[in-house]
Amino acid sequence: MLRRPWDAVLTGAALALIVGMVSMTLMLTESLARTTARLMAEAPSLVVRRITAGGWAPMPEAASIAAATSVPGVIHAKSRTWGVVRGPEGVLTVVASPRSLGAGRIPETRHRLPGPGQAVVGVGVTPKGTTLRLRGLSDREKIVDVVDTFESSASLFTHDVVLLYPDDTRELLNIPSGYASDLVIDVFHAEEESAILPDLTTAFPWPVQITTRGESMEAVQGGMFRRGSIGSIVMLPAILALVLVVLATVRDRYARRYEIGLLKALGWGTGDVFRMSLYRSLFIGVPAAVLGSVVAYGLVFWTGAGWAGRWLLGWRELPVHLALDASGAAVLLLEVAALVLVPFVAGVVFPALGSASADVQEFLETGAV
């Protein structure tokens, strides 16, 4: 191997690239699915929105809650006020803080609730302590002070969110007092989500559209992976590259059979040739697999995979810092490394074994020593 160091370096680089590409694609896909499922499990059972001929319309809060709670199986109903506005760098989602919490803190978090003219924002919007200019419907503008930011672990859903005081949210979205954007409902059991839909639909005196938690999860994951399906295409050239590397290795081993003949002439046995070939392949393959795995893990988990949001998932504005679930990543990396190393090691060892069991004189005559 030291006689041809650049061959070993190039082969190792190719293996590292293959391991990295395949591992990165699979880890990103599986981690996104696990993280999305974990966060969506905390979402409300049902979301109800009022619809008109012109699309979505605000719904009366008191009447909507009364209609929803009249349906057997509904244990809790709460109105929400939210919408989309323009920020300095793109579209943002503004959400009104619950009035029922007063001036306290968001439950189960360290974040304080915003007061008038204040905001709590996702990590992708703007840093804490700055001001934020928002432009809502009818070009309504509002400048708010950012008093806190959401933690990055929930950035998949809070990255571009701006939590505002209720009156500020209504002003930007042009929603009258006493009205809300939608209604969220919780039921006793997940099986009841679909079962109560007919009764819930008829309980409202206006047309509504109801979305279950399962439908929301399918929409979120489906949208991600439809736009991120280009990631699976990355595996096709990676697999082709692995096949080419193995074929090139086998061809090189057969082309240099005279080296095996020379070693046999010097007294080497078949076992010695086997061990030499095995050590050679592992000396190249194992460091390459480790390097590719470390780089892939770092790109997906250590950097927040913001590149994935921009390149693979289509988020052109405010690419999300993804705090992904890393459980199962180690097993996946080992599986990918084995998938790449086993064919490569076989491509080095088996030609050497075949040459070691053949006639020595024939090999010595076919190559220049």
Do 334 and 256 have their domain in common?
Answer: yes
In a 3-state reduction of DSSP, which class is residue 102? coil
Do 232 and 352 have their domain in common?
Answer: yes
Boundary (domain end) residue, out of 155, 173, 191:
173
| Nearest Cα residue to 348 out of 291, 286, 278 | 278
For residue 22, the tally of other CB atoms under 10 A from its CB is: 25
Indicate whether 68 belongs to any domain. Answer: no
For residue 280, the tally of other CB atoms under 10 A from its CB is: 16
Do 244 and 319 have their domain in common?
Answer: yes
Cα atoms in the 13 Å half-sphere on the side-chain side of 43: 21
In a 3-state reduction of DSSP, which class is residue 256? coil
Indicate whether 229 belongs to any domain. Answer: yes
Indicate whether 55 belongs to any domain. Answer: no
The residue to which tokens 């193995």 are assigned: 246
Domain that residue 117 falls in = 86-173
Indicate whether 242 belongs to any domain. Answer: yes
Q: Which H or E run includes 39?
A: helix 5-40
Do 15 and 143 have their domain in common?
Answer: no
**What's the pLDDT score for residue 368?**
42
Quick one: tokens of 264?
Answer: 């046999």
Q: Which residues of 36-49 are buried (b: 16+ CB within 10 A; e: fewer)?
A: beebbeeebbbbbb
CA distance readout (Å), 154 to 7, 32, 118, 309, 314: 46, 12, 21, 15, 19
Q: One-letter amino acid identity for 195?
A: A
| Distance in angstroms (rounded) separating the CA atoms of residues 143 and 127 | 15
Do 233 and 351 have their domain in common?
Answer: yes
Boundary (domain end) residue, out of 142, 173, 204:
173
CA distance readout (Å), 320 to 7, 155, 303, 307, 325: 40, 7, 11, 9, 15
Do 155 and 275 have their domain in common?
Answer: no
Boundary (domain end) residue, out of 152, 173, 194:
173
What global pTM score does this model have? 0.66
Taking the mean position of all CA atoms in its chain, how far away is CA 243?
A: 28
The residue to which tokens 């057997």 are assigned: 72
Extract the residue ranges of the chain whose pLDDT is less than 50: 368-369
In a 3-state reduction of DSSP, which class is residue 33? helix
Distant-in-sequence, close-in-space partners of 350: CB < 8 Å, separation ≥ 6 = 250
| Distance in angstroms (rounded) separating the CA atoms of residues 357 and 7 | 26
**What's the pLDDT score for residue 153?**
67
Do 167 and 239 have their domain in common?
Answer: no
| Distance in angstroms (rounded) separating the CA atoms of residues 80 and 330 | 40
Strand partners, 50: 57, 208
Do 331 and 237 have their domain in common?
Answer: yes
- What's the CA dihedral at 188, 189, 193, 195 to 10 degrees? -100
* Residues 300 and 27: beta-carbon distance below 8 Å: yes
Do 166 and 235 have their domain in common?
Answer: no
Do 324 and 229 have their domain in common?
Answer: yes
**What's the pLDDT score for residue 286?**
93
Q: One-letter amino acid identity for 267?
A: G
Indicate whether 67 belongs to any domain. Answer: no
Cα atoms in the 13 Å half-sphere on the side-chain side of 363: 21
Which parts of 175-269 fold into alpha helices (H)?
Answer: 192-195, 197-203, 213-227, 230-255, 257-265
Indicate whether 76 belongs to any domain. Answer: no
**What's the pLDDT score for residue 159?**
79
| Distance in angstroms (rounded) separating the CA atoms of residues 179 and 170 | 9
Q: One-letter amino acid identity for 250?
A: V
Do 243 and 301 have their domain in common?
Answer: yes
Strand partners, 161: 93
**What's the pLDDT score for residue 369?**
42
Q: One-letter amino acid identity for 164?
A: L
Indicate whether 292 belongs to any domain. Answer: yes
| Nearest Cα residue to 278 out of 347, 339, 343, 349 | 349
Do 167 and 233 have their domain in common?
Answer: no
How many domains does the chain divide into? Answer: 2
Indicate whether 206 belongs to any domain. Answer: no
**What's the pLDDT score for residue 289?**
93
pLDDT tens digits, one per residue of 95-138: 998 765 555 555 555 667 888 999 999 877 888 889 999 998 77
Q: What is the DSSP letter of 205?
A: S
**What's the pLDDT score for residue 249?**
78
**What's the pLDDT score for residue 256?**
64
Q: What is the CATH number of the domain that holds 122?
A: 2.40.40
**What's the pLDDT score for residue 160?**
83
